[in-house]
Amino acid sequence: MFSAIIDFIMGIWNLLMVIPVVISICSVIVALTPTPADDKLWAKVYKWLEVLALAIGKAKDKNPLLDK
């Protein structure tokens, strides 16, 4: 029983360790790529990358396709 609880806690801990890595990778991608204007699929992917990169407020680029 105690071993199962420790395994559960370690599983959650491993998931929590991935979150900063995902944020960092998405931040780099968003910072290095221009805001898409011609590809609707890439515009939607870019929107989710901004969310995952925590790009909010003035850090967020304006997307001409999704702001219409």
Q: In the chain, what are the domain boundaries? A: 20-58
Can you read off the two tokens belonging to residue 45? 């992917």
The reported pLDDT for the residue numbered 46 is 79
49 has pLDDT over 90: no
Mind listing the pLDDT tens digit for each residue in 11-40? 999 989 998 898 888 888 888 877 766 677
Q: What is the pLDDT of residues 8-17, one digit of tens each?
A: 999 999 989 9
Q: Which amino acid is at 68?
A: K
The model's pTM is: 0.56
Tokens of 5: 């609880």
Tell me the residue type at 45: V
